[in-house]
Structure 1
Amino acid sequence: MKAVHFGAGNIGRGFIGHMLSASDYEVCFVARNPKKIAMLQKRQEYPITLANADQDTTIVNNVTAINVGEQDRVAEVIVSADLITTAVGVSA
């Protein structure tokens, strides 16, 4: 299953991306930060620290990202998605 998520900020990566990945979705973030996009494309995973008593760390995997300005690519991932989500801040 494929999911597209608009916004690769703290909520997108730390909560929604984690939940989607844990639910066996391939996650493609649509973002505007070139450094985050490059990191997600290269590693295809990232660590998060859980807000539990032990502050456990887990790896969110099966992810990638594309730039919001690449309209044709964004359209392609939307067409192939089973689910689309968003979490963008007011400045976006």
Structure 2
Amino acid sequence: MTQAIGMIETKGLAISIVVADSMLKAADVKIVRQETIDLALVTIAIEGDLEAVHEAIHVGLKIAKQFNKFISYNIVPRPDDPVVKLVREISKKPT
């Protein structure tokens, strides 16, 4: 089983919540990070098995694009330990 980290960026907090909920329901992934910049740019990072991350990101992309709120996405298969640590540390920083 290959682990992966997936990230999707949307315009707006409300649609990011819908995207996150749909990704969690679509595949066995967990959210490891959610970052909001001025409620305009929201990044959600998920992790799990590579296949599950691909499925979840696919569902999230479909929803974000349907509402014209998609900005970007990326999937990192087999992330190196420092990358995993970076993502997790960012998610623990106070806002």
Give the TM-score band, short-chain normalised. Answer: 0.3 to 0.5
Structure having the higher strand fraction is: 2
**Bigger proportion of residues as helix:** 2
Normalised to the residue count of structure 2, the TM-score between the two structures is 0.33
